[in-house]
Structure 1
Amino acid sequence: MEIQFQGKRALVTGAGKGIGRAIAKKLVECGAETIALSRTQADLDSLKAEVKGIIPVLCDVADFDATRKIVQSLGPIHLLVNNAGITRLGSFLEFSMKDFEDVLNVNTKAVFNMSQVVAKGMVERGGGGSIVNISSVASTRALDEHIAYCTSKSAVDSITRVMALELGKHKIRVNSVNPTVTWTDMAAFAWSDPAKSGPMLAKIPMGKFVELEDVVNTVLFLLSDKSAITTGQHIILDGGMSAC
């Protein structure tokens, strides 16, 4: 199934590394004029050198006012991927409010902030659009020492459903992609210890974690007209874990 985005402008947050970087590169390959947001200049520089035509934008999505100004200056956006995310690990009893707020600011509040700005533009233009939020199976499962991360992704799923409900009449589709562990630098930080990864893998019938390509392909499908009737959905990528 060939997917093309000629004539579309896409924006990907957290595009400097991992999942976001892979999505941004594939969007360019599929013909979209792609804006890559990252808070790290070095990552943007390397991405620009690697991918001809990509538009790098330095932006910390946790700075809500600055983000709104930057995004409003970018012009029309037809496709949005809210990918930026962080994690902090720690036991519930010892977890700090500062770490809790940091995770929610990036993983949850930034999704609301970014989507509101982009969706208003979509509504004003009247041409519809597609928004994909990168969530996680952690939105519905309790993970040890992940109090902030699990909370943040549960909220992302709720945001996704409400956005889909309210924006459907404007021909704007909103979905989330919910993978289990996807082997990026952030995942390695949380799951590199075999004592943690082993029990998790044992719960996955397919016996493996998610590959970047698995997430990228699902995101592209949801952004495209191939999923024209799909909205308000959480697409779980977990190798069958939720079937157990």
Structure 2
Amino acid sequence: MPAPDLSGRRALVTGASRGIGAAVADALAAAGAAVVLHGRDAALLTERAQAIAAAHGARTTTLTADLADPAAVERLAGEAWDALGGLDILVNNAGITFPALAHDQTLAEWDTTMAVNLRAPALLAARLGARMADAGGGSIVNVSSLAGLRALTEHYAYCASKAALQMATKVLALELGPRGVRANSVCPTVVLTEMGQQVWGEQAKAAPMLARIPTGRFGAPAEVAAAVVWLCSDAAGMVNGAELALDGGFSVA
């Protein structure tokens, strides 16, 4: 199967300074797309964008925004569209988690998790999805989590936010699909990013989770990025409203 070709397409990737988002931005550029990288650390974003541009000859630009602030999210939607003269791809990757038992989860942690993991991607998808539809079509990929499909202890707000994001994705698929915009979600199990290492780095905590994954390992950012690029490509033209589990078989047990 030939590698996906995204030449001429323009993408926004949130949370692109590190981890899964950085891998997605790099993979999209490698496939030929121009990429807007979003994050909060301007210096790190610039470094990442320059490295991607040098590696792939891609057009890149950067934008910063606090996704917990709805006004900043609205600005990001407009600025990202204008930066590349339109968008064909939106990858909502940015996320946050505060591991805690339900009765220990603070109100501030709950609200921040919902703002970043649910409200921000839902708002970006609504605003940019409508503009993509008016311009002829596009693809939205929301990076959710296996935690949106299976309950995990100490992930009360996180599981709730990701499950809600997946349902929002399905509504987008229904509403925007007839207008040429596909919406899908990818649901990785633990991915060994910086955040993944913080939560699952201890062997004692990781061992029970690994025992439930038939492939016997956690995921890598590049594996998530490959799935995202495929969903954004013409090869996935009939994939709309899907929840793609990237979990090594965890969810079939």
2:149 — aligned with what? 140
Match of 1:180 in 2: 189
Q: For 2:145 and 2:173, how far apart are their aligned partners in 1?
A: 18
Which deviations, in whole Å up to 9, do the C-alpha atoms of 1:143-193 show, x marking residues without a partner?
Answer: 111101101100111011111011111011000000100000111111112
Alignment length (residue pairs): 243
Alignment correspondent of 2:76: 70
SS in 1 for 2:104: coil
1:100 to 110, 118, 121: 110
Structure 1 unaligned segments of length 5 or more: list them: none
Aligned-pair identity (%): 39
- Quick one: which amino acid aligns to residue 170 of structure 2? R
Q: How far off is 1:39 after superposition?
A: 1.1
Determine the C-alpha separation between the residues in 2 that align with 1:61 and 1:19. Answer: 17
User: TM-score with structure 1 length normalisation?
Assistant: 0.96
> What are the equivalent positions in structure 2 for 1:1-244 lying under 5 Å apart?
1-52=2-53, 53-73=59-79, 74-75=81-82, 76-125=86-135, 127-244=136-253
Secondary structure of 1:120's match?
helix
Distance in 1 of aligned mates of 2:247 and 2:49:
32
Other structure's SS at 1:117 match = helix
Deviation at 1:136, TM superposition (A): 0.6
The runs of 5 or more residues in structure 2 that have no matched partner are 54-58
CA distance in 2, matches of 1:91, 1:243: 25
Q: Which amino acid aligns with 2:103?
A: L
Structure 1 segments of 4+ aligned residues over 6 angstroms from their partners: none
* Greater Cα shift, 136-145 or 78-87: 136-145
- Whole-Å Cα distance in 2 between the matches of residues 44 and 84 of structure 1? 13
- Please report the TM-score for the alignment, with normalisation by the length of structure 2: 0.93
Q: Deviations over 1:66-114 (max 9, x none)?
A: 2212321333110010000010011111210100011111010011111
Partner-residue secondary structure (3-state), 1:133: strand
Offset of 1:42 from its aligned partner?
Answer: 2.4
